[in-house]
Structure 1
Amino acid sequence: MAGTAQSPRARYREQTRAEIKEIALRQLAEGGTAAVALTRIAKEVGLSGPALYRYFDSRDALLTDLIRDAYADLAAAVSQAADSLPPGASPRARLRALAGSCRGWAIAQPHRYLLIEGTPVPGYAAPPDTLDSARAVLGPFLPVFEGAAPSAAVRPVVEQMTAWAEADAAVAQWARPRAAGGSEGVALAGAVLAWAHMHGSIGLEVSGQFNGMGHDGDTLLTAQIDSLADAFSLD
């Protein structure tokens, strides 16, 4: 069944919103979140200040759209990496591929990565649905830890994640089908620790903290991911 055709007004509104976000992303790349200014955007688009508010009623509303888009794109990159793995790929190889996809996406557009994983924007409160967006990024990591044997070093994290799933039905409902028949606590611990490893390495790299230090970001991230795989006894 064919979708309903948009009216010219609806198409114009969608195009204008897209143009506004494009300009905001350019400002973000040039100077971070502090550089995103609705007045400057309005001038560039050719709208008055009040007219711009018909498309985004505040800077926070615009940032929320940019955050949702960034999470969706990152989740798509991770899912594509998961789908591209050869049949029978080892858990360690899968973990490396997923982490590498996150790094590749971040290196290509560091301003968008820092928007969702960098320093929180002062005074900004993300709406609850962005939690689902963040979970979409981590979802493909959970099945990697099916059959894992956590070492003593990560066992406290597994215990806390297990208690979390037992206490929060929404967390359990999200994690259970993604744990691939394994322990939800183990899968959650593995995914959260992978996120911590990735954010530490990738965040420092994209913000320029590794410049001049004589190592490659991919090599460092792979070493960290392999140490995590060792901690869970992944093949």
Structure 2
Amino acid sequence: MPSPLDLPAAQSAPNTPRERRRAQTRDEILNAALAVMTEQGVAALNLTEVARRVGLRQPSLYQYFDSRTAVYDALFERGMRAHHDLLADAIGAADTGWPAACAAAWASVRFAMDHPALVQLLFAGAVPGFVPSEQAYAPSLRTYELTRNAIASAVRHHHLHPAAASERGVALFVALIAGVSVQQQANDPDADLEEGRYVALLDPALDMYVGYFAPSRPTAWTPWPETGARTAR
């Protein structure tokens, strides 16, 4: 099981010894919560068990997180920030245009394989009724902008048709990545990145995306009209 310690800690650095101890305890609680989610199911998070693992009584845990929802929210924010940072690094290290978009796709699939329980919280709606706070959701919006900008760059480099940078074009790119990740996790969860049966489909799927949004399409080509039928006019 991948270590939850890979997740970034809180953004604001504590200034006093007391604040540092509190921040460290919060980190320990979140790491323990992620371990329990991994072992017992994302929606089955038990704060009594989390408190036991970090050496606290459950009432003391509420001094750090006032509810189970607050724990989910903090994990959501940190997970989304970790996902954003991985994609930003991958895009920054790749050539501009379509290679950067492909690098983002691979970084996202790698993240999903490294943190399967966390990904269920972030992307699969595994906790009924949980809605992240505005603060927790903010990194997701930044990640979408990263992805959209990578696709737009591919359009500017004439690697893709302009329709790829539309809302639905970006949504298809995201859905493609999510589909590979979910199928891998559901059907071949113990495989690594090099051996995963569904991960091996990512490059062919990306090739199909390029084919669908080939820059040679007519300028007025509409990929998803309201009728659901693809048209060119």
TM-score normalised by structure 1 residue count? 0.73
Pick from 19, 40, 43 the counterpart of residue 49 of structure 2.
40
Note if contact 2:76-2:121 (Cα within 8 Å) is conserved in structure 1: yes
Q: How does 1:103-118 map to 2 (within 5 A)?
A: 103-118=109-124
**How far does residue 211 in structure 1 lie from its aligned partner after superposition?**
8.6
Partner of 2:184: 205
**RMSD after superposition:** 2.7
* CA distance 1:7–1:130, shift in 2 (3 Å): closer
Partner Cα distance (1:223, 1:72) in 2:
28
Cα shift readout 1:44-76 (whole Å, capped 9, x = no counterpart): 222222211010000000011001111101111
State the secondary structure of the residue aligned to 2:187: coil
Partner Cα distance (2:188, 2:132) in 1:
27
Partner of 2:143: 137
**How far does residue 133 in structure 1 lie from its aligned partner after superposition?**
1.8
Equivalent position amino acid for 1:195 in 2? V
Note if contact 1:92-1:226 (Cα within 8 Å) is conserved in structure 2: no
Partner Cα distance (2:190, 2:59) in 1:
43
Note if contact 1:72-1:133 (Cα within 8 Å) is conserved in structure 2: yes
Unaligned ranges ≥5, structure 2: 1-11, 217-233
Q: How does 1:185-200 map to 2 (within 5 A)?
A: 186-200=165-179
Pick from 212, 222, 232 the counterpart of residue 231 of structure 1.
212
Partner of 2:161: 149
Note if contact 2:177-2:202 (Cα within 8 Å) is conserved in structure 1: yes
Q: Number of paired residues?
A: 196
Partner of 1:85: 94
- Identity percentage of aligned residues: 25
**How far does residue 210 in structure 1 lie from its aligned partner after superposition?**
8.2
Note if contact 1:95-1:225 (Cα within 8 Å) is conserved in structure 2: no
Partner Cα distance (2:126, 2:48) in 1:
22
Cα shift readout 1:22-47 (whole Å, capped 9, x = no counterpart): 11111111122133211111222222
Partner of 2:227: none
Partner Cα distance (1:194, 1:138) in 2:
11
Note if contact 2:47-2:58 (Cα within 8 Å) is conserved in structure 1: yes
Partner Cα distance (2:147, 2:46) in 1:
36
Unaligned ranges ≥5, structure 1: 159-185
Structure having the larger proportion of residues in helix: 1
**How far does residue 123 in structure 1 lie from its aligned partner after superposition?**
2.4
Partner Cα distance (1:47, 1:192) in 2:
43
